Structure 1
Amino acid sequence: MSKHKIPLTNREISWLYFNDRVLQEAADETVPLIERIRFLAIFSSNLDEFYRVRVATLNRLTNVNSQVKEVLGYNPKKILGEIKNIVVKQERKFDHLYEDVIIKELAKERIFIINENQLNVSRGQYVRQYFLQKVLSNLVPVMLDDDKPLPELKDRAIYFLVKLTHNNHKQKVRYSLIEIPLDNMSRFLVLPETNNLKFIILLDDIIRYCLEDIYFIFEHNTVEAYSIQLTRDAELDLDTNVSEKFIDALTKSLQKRKKGKPMRLLYDNGMPLDMLTYLVAKLDLDADALIPGNRYHNFKDFIDFPNVGSPELEYPKLPPLRVKGLTVNKSILSQIATRDFLINLPYQSFDYIIHFLREAAIDPKVTEINMTLYRLAENSKVINALINAARNGKKVTCFLELKARFDEQANIFWTNRLEEEGVMVNYGLLDYKVHSKLCLVTRREKGKAVHYANLATGNYNEKTAQLYCDHSLFTSNKKITSEVKTFFNSLNKKTFHHHYQHLIVSPLETRTKLTALIDAEINNALAGKKAWMILKMNSLSDEAMITKLYEASNAGVKLQLIVRGMCCLIPGLPGYSTNIEVISIVDKYLEHARVWIFGNEGDEKIYLSSADLMTRNLDKRVEVGFPVLDKEVAREIRDIISIQLKDNTKAREITRSNNNPYKKQGKIKYRAQDDIYTYLKTKNQQP
């Protein structure tokens, strides 16, 4: 199989198929209604980021020469055309779901989202009073001049393009822009209930209703307002000095991000042609950047849509389960000293990690804490615990990745906060993002340094830990902790260590070690032995790794893949992937764990990792995979993966046609996320 000749789905196109699975959840009638609205919001937010990053990158590549296109393996301009076709269809599906399905379903629940034309006199008075008291002072309308360029539009902000006309044709048509002030105001206003009917109006429509209160000084007979949203290039061009200069450069680049090249203009498809023509001329946009949308943009705000109806309109909030054998009313460290423990998020509580850090912060025998941090919660208990440790005289070193996309600003803030409190902050590495999720606590016991580690597949973020499915391992096993210590020593020196015996670390060794594990299964298959592997990840796009998986399939290795997001591998292709099955689970929680299981002639090898099988994770990031050595923990991981492979409710099959069919249901219905909760709950009740 020669390079660039193997069958692949383009990664951008594959990502759009993933986002379509999110849209499927919004369309699923078995999903509670408010949750369906939230899935629409997730779809919209995902698409915004896709345009800001991936489409921005493709736009940069459109002017490259044919040789570069050959290296890429595709024509960027052609892919941009395909993206637009798919996105337009998805936007139509989105509009249909919201306008023709969700709105009607809300009405059945006696909940009505009404616009400015549906206000009666009393509700109209209530809205106008709210506008005058709360909204008007936040509005800054800008009058547009034909001879002057359009003011700089903020990335992802919602604006109204307003047109004022007069019956007297001698009067000049006036245009104006108003930014909808979402930074400091709720998008939704719940109106007074009437006859047990609930009414909600959007801030957009409150402003529409009160346009006359804004433009009364201009003579006009009609005033029209249509919403627009500009999505800009969000990639950063940085000077690569990792130092205080780097923080300064990053801060300046973040300011530039707001003024990046326009990637997409989403506009109300009801906008008259003359207004759209005026706008496009002012913005100097390519036709491919124009995406017709519905009346409301920035639908991501609907993630906070208020549930004014019954609790059944949302998923019930299940209480987090205890971890069998691990209690918080005695020393966490002393319990980890006896055996490994696995925290399965979000089914079990992230508080175990907080208790681990808090204990380390006050334990007189703890001398040192090392930790990698990538994305943090807004009010981070993790940070508070580390600060407390520093105040208690511990040596605390954090590897805080400043280049975590869209979290850069927050991480600069946390860097300054930690340094003020005496925590040593390492800003990461020059050309590599530190994406690993590790914490190492060092304790003096009988005159010797003893290490306790937490290794995870997801971020140390207590907010996302309530929504993301991840695994977090506590261990004092010297085989692992000694190598975690070596890993942190290397990071301190800004170097990479070779030849770990147990850890699988990017950028130097993940590709080669994972390839060796796959090769072992290939050799078993060629020798007539049973050979198989199960790989779970967020994304699969690295071409060399896909080539290796095709090779394994052709050798007779059975591969079962669970890939939530983009999957560039095409299953079921004769001569390539007839032994490969791929499913994607999209449900109420976001599947985020990376799990690798190899048959190994009956002596299974199980690894957890922070790395997806993407080129950046294998070659350009600092990632850590780690073996599951405790037999009880290994059995638990294996059981959870088996439950996921059985899912026939929320699992979609990734197929050659990329139409996201749900796995066929048999006589018994399996839903992995419900079944895992039940499994862990039952296990916890066993003696």
Structure 2
Amino acid sequence: MTTNQIAATDAASQKISETTEPEIDLNDSAYYVNRHIGLLEFNLRVLAQAEDDTLPLLERLKFLLIFSSNMDEFFEVRLAGLQRDIAYNQARPEADGMHPKDVMRTISDSCHRAIERQYNLLNDELLPLMAQENIRFIARDSWTAPQVQWIKHYFRQQVAPVLTPIGLDLAHPFPRLVNKSLNFLVTLEGNDAFGRKLGMAVVPAPKSLPRIIRMPDEVCEGGDNFIFLSSIIHYHAGYLFPGMKSTGCYQFRLTRNSDLFLDEEKVDDLSAALKGELYSRRYGEEVRLEVADNMPDELISFLLNKFGLEESQLYKVTGPVNLTRMMSVLDVAKTHQEFPSFKPKLPNDLKRSDRMFEAMNSGDILLNHPYESFHPVISFLRQAARDKDVVAIKQTLYRTGTNSEILDLLVEAARNGKEVTAVVELRARFDEESNIEIASRLQEAGAVVVYGIVGHKTHAKMMLVVRREGAKLRRYVHLGTGNYHAGNARLYSDYSLLTCNEELAEDVHKIFQELTGMGRPATLKHLYHSPFTLQQELLVQNIQQECNNAQNGLPAKIIFKCNSLTDQKTIQELYKASQAGVEIKLIVRGMCCLRPGIPGVSENIEVRSVVGRFLEHTRVYYFHNNGDYSIYCASADLMERNLYRRVEIAFPIIDPKLRKRAYRQGLEIYLQDNYQAWIMNSDGSYTRLSPGEGEERRSAQAYLVEKLS
């Protein structure tokens, strides 16, 4: 437990002694967890998956690499934003009361310990175990003569032609390095062709070069044998500077602020403005320096000074500086050391992909991805694109991907004469370039493309199909908690609802009208949407109803499942419900700023996080309502940005059978998980559950794979 966590717990304990007071100040910082620390805690739970020796070996490696990718984004976005606010004197304490500089120090200490754990796990456990499975990473001092010859040939043919060594002198200042690029600092002796004593040079490794290279079987002993690009460049450092002597070669990597800064009210064309900003992302402010652990102190000081970084922003690593690029190994080294494969289920009434309209007319359809196939969603759009009776298609696109059948079908629909309207969210972080290309393709095909609402990202997941049936127009709808990305649908847990319920369709129609036109907020019958009604009417009013039920002696219960819970207003309503005696179960994958288990405040609240094979992505909100319970699925997490600065939707599961199924598969089994679940403590830390003696091991994800796939 950190010093700040202990202090926060002591403060909370002080509040416990005051529970006899008639009023408790729910704004007190003792009742909140810092959001940045909460996100880091989630990343540490991912790292713990890599340390779990009950998991298949290559899955452990995958979790390690996911942790590395998560930490990159943590530095690029979260820490970079905090650092920038501090530098410009814009940082203010949040609900937890921690000063931003204290948050930075706490995070820095935790990150350094976590990175050390990461590389110790890789070097001391995973790589040796992989070698036993004939998956080897061969170090330079172990190369055989045939391997050296092959590596030299590979370097001359594939690497040397694209390298650009840069000597450092007055005419060649230190280059401006791209964010997260692999680079080498080389120390030199002797004179170059022009008689210069350079002393040092920088060698950037082009992103086009693979970081992991599989050597051919004929120069190896069998199995899968890999070498790192960094090892190849290090071995040939002297070759890059003819006539000079290389006295040292050290890899390093610089992480920069990757957030985009765009004042939408001061630009005329959002797409054009974003194109200009995307280039600057590669050269944002410096936030982290990673160096090989054998780099001499004087060279480290040189780099820190060059980038304007402090010692606390330095990370010495005992291995490749970008572990995420090791993901390519998983595509090559296929062994039994992985999770068993499974095929997502295709419900019987959806196996005829050309009869989606008939199936939807028979009743609402609820799909639980990835256990059930995403294919029916694609089939729905495919049939709509090709059906002569379909007159219009409207869809929101957040993260879809340029190589997407969804995009191809929208283009086809537009070319087939359908009225296609696409709301493309250009500002989906790290997908901006892809979404600009998507918008261009759709416009070229004749679709109407809009970019949503200035100041509010369009994060809702909706598709509306209008079909002429006799003398009437019938509307068919898809609503989801995830993105229109078939790849993510195999990795993320999400819900899809396919329906032709006329009242739901009318609500969706009104929201599209808001997004493409102008006017006052729409009055909806079933859907709740941000930034207008989702927080106040769906969350607050239903929470307060559970409070009233509890105070009147009626059973009262709330279950929320989401990715993050940071909104202070929602947290305070949950605290009030706990004080009223409402039983509250929260399944929060990532950040949770609420502190559970504080007597007099949150003793009736349990918070758990489930981290497993699939990324838990569903947002499900349950209210007991004195036995007549309601369940809403949503695109929105319980964060300020989702509730007040985005266009989001929450949709009800109306059909009683589907509602019962959503409760069982989406909530109940997660509350029974004793293997991949972590329980949050009141100090903000987490404890992993494990089966007790004689207790059956229960994994929600394993249950769903078995029952649905």
**How high is the TM-score relative to the length of structure 1?**
0.95
**Does the aligned pair in 1 maintain the 2:564–2:589 contact within 8 Å?**
yes
CA distance in 2, matches of 1:72, 1:659: 15
- Within the alignment, does 1:102 sit opposite 2:126 as a pair? yes
> 1:317: which partner in 2?
341
Q: What is the SS of the residue equivalent to 2:558?
A: strand
Is the aligned partner of 1:33 residue 2:57?
yes
Compared CA separation, residues 678 and 69, structure 1 to 2 (3 A): closer
SS of 2:31's equivalent in the other structure is coil
| Structure 2 equivalent of residue 662 of structure 1 | 688
CA displacement 1:54-94 (0-9 Å, x = unmatched): 11211122146699447884321111111110100000100
1:461 aligns with 2:485: yes
Counterpart CA distance in 2 for 1:497 and 1:103 is: 57
- 1:287–1:443 Cα change, 3 Å: same
Determine helix, strand or coil for the equivalent of 2:489.
helix
Looking at structure 2, the residues matched to 482 and 407 of structure 1 have their Cα atoms a distance apart, in angstroms, of 30
Contact 2:168 2:198 in 1 (8 A): no
**Are the counterparts in 1 of residues 169 and 198 from structure 2 also a CA contact under 8 Å?**
no
Q: 1:440 aligns with which of 439, 457, 464?
A: 464
CA-to-partner distance for each residue in 1:409-435, whole Å, 9 max, x for gaps?
A: 110011111100001101111100000
> What is the aligned partner in structure 2 of residue 304 from structure 1?
328
> Which residue of 1 is the match for residue 288 of structure 2?
264
* Deviation digits for residues 278-326 of structure 1 (CA, Å, limit 9, x no counterpart): 2122222233322222331121112222466562122222111112432
Structure-2 residue corresponding to 1:672? 700
Q: Does 1:573 align with 2:601?
A: no
Residue from 625, 631, 635 that aligns with 1:610: 635
Q: Note if contact 2:632-2:650 (Cα within 8 Å) is conserved in structure 1.
A: yes
- How far, CA to CA, are the matches of 1:70 and 1:49 in structure 2? 21
**Would you say the 8 A contact 1:160–1:178 is kept in 2?**
yes
Once the two structures are superposed, what CA deviation does each residue of 1:316-350 show, in whole Å capped at 9, x if it has no partner?
22111112432324410111012000111111111
Is the Cα contact below 8 Å between 1:149 and 1:282 reproduced in 2?
no
Find the aligned partners of 1:217 and 1:124 in 2 and give their Cα distance: 22
Q: Give 2:676's aligned residue.
A: 650
Superposed counterparts of 1:274-673, under 5 Å = 274-306=298-330, 311-495=335-519, 497-513=521-537, 514-640=539-665, 641-666=667-692, 667-673=695-701
Aligned to 1:202: 228
Distance 1:243 1:332 in 2: 42
Give the deviation of 1:149 after TM superposition. Answer: 4.2
Q: Which runs of 5+ in 1 are unaligned?
A: 682-687
The amino acid of 2:703's aligned partner reads D
Contact 1:191–1:201 (CA<8 Å) still a contact in 2?
Answer: no
- Structure 2 residue 240 is the aligned partner of structure 1 residue 214: yes
Task: Give distance in 2, aligned partners of 1:128 and 1:386.
Answer: 49
Matched, 1:18 2:46: no
> Which segments of 5 or more consecutive residues in structure 2 lack a partner in the other structure?
1-24
Distance 1:438 1:496, change over 3 A: farther
Q: 1:573 to 1:212 in 2, by over 3 A?
A: same
Give distance in 2, aligned partners of 1:360 and 1:114. 53
SS of 2:395's partner is strand
SS of residue paired to 1:325: helix
Q: Secondary structure at the match of 2:521?
A: coil
Distance 1:587 1:247 in 2: 37
Q: CA deviation at 1:14?
A: 0.6
Structure-2 change in CA distance of 1:75 and 1:199 (3 Å): same
The Cα of 1:658 is off from its aligned counterpart by 4.3
CA distance in 2, matches of 1:93, 1:466: 29
Equivalent residue for 2:205, pick from 152, 170, 180: 180
Alignment correspondent of 2:145: 121
User: What is the alpha-carbon distance in structure 2 between the residues aligned to residue 306 and residue 164 of structure 1?
Assistant: 37
User: Do the aligned partners of residues 494 and 313 (structure 1) sit closer, same or farther apart at CA in structure 2, a change above 3 Å counting?
Assistant: farther
Identity %: 36
CA-based RMSD of the aligned residues comes to 2.1
Question: Match of 2:62, as an amino acid?
Answer: R
**Is contact 1:38–1:305 with CA below 8 Å preserved after alignment?**
no
Q: CA deviation at 1:139?
A: 0.8
Counterpart-to-counterpart distance in 2, 1:240 and 1:82: 34
Provide the rounded CA distance (Å) in 2 between the counterparts of 1:242 and 1:34.
Answer: 49
Deviations 1:81-111 (A, max 9, x none): 1111010000010011001111111122132
1:685 is aligned to: none
Per-residue CA shift, 1:116-141, capped at 9, x if unaligned? 22212111111111111111112111
Instruction: Please report how far the alpha carbon of residue 196 of structure 1 lies from its aligned counterpart in structure 2 after TM superposition.
Output: 3.4
1:4 Cα deviation after fit: 5.0
Would you say the 8 A contact 1:239–1:249 is kept in 2? no
Instruction: Supply the AA of the counterpart residue of 1:562.
Output: I
C-alpha distance in structure 2 between counterparts of 1:495 and 1:145, whole Å: 61
Give, as a single letter, the amino acid of the residue that structure 1 aligns with 2:404. S
1:273 pairs with one of 297, 307, 325: 297
The verdict on how the C-alpha distance between 1:441 and 1:598 changes in structure 2, with shifts beyond 3 A counting, is same
- Pair 125,495 (structure 1): closer, same or farther in 2 beyond 3 Å: farther
Which digits, 9 at most, give the CA deviation of each residue in 1:382-407, with x for residues without a partner? 01111111111110000000011110
Greater shift, 424-433 or 242-251, is seen at 242-251
Distance 1:620 1:308, change over 3 A: closer
2:114 to 85, 90, 101: 90
Between the aligned partners of 1:36 and 1:440, the Cα distance in structure 2 is: 41
Mapped partners of 2:520, 2:177: distance in 1? 43
Maintained 8 Å contact 1:643/1:676: no
Contact 2:481 2:617 survives alignment (8 Å): yes
Change (3 A) 1:450 1:21: same
Structure 1 pair 71–111 and aligned structure 2 pair: CA distance change class (3 A) = closer
User: 1:162, CA displacement in angstroms?
Assistant: 1.2
Amino acid corresponding to residue 237 of structure 2 in structure 1:
L
Q: In structure 2, which of residues 220, 233, 258 is the aligned counterpart of residue 234 of structure 1? A: 258
Structure 1 stretch 641-650 or stretch 192-201: which is displaced more?
192-201
Q: Which moved more, 1:525-534 or 1:195-204?
A: 195-204
Q: Does the CA-based 8 Å contact 1:243-1:427 persist in structure 2? A: no
Tell me the amino acid that sits aligned with residue 608 of structure 2. I
Q: Name the structure 2 match of 1:684.
A: none
SS across alignment from 1:623: strand
Asked if structure 2 preserves the Cα contact closer than 8 Å seen for 1:116 and 1:208, the reply is: no
Q: Which moved more, 1:60-69 or 1:254-263?
A: 60-69
Find 2:178's aligned residue among 150, 154, 158.
154
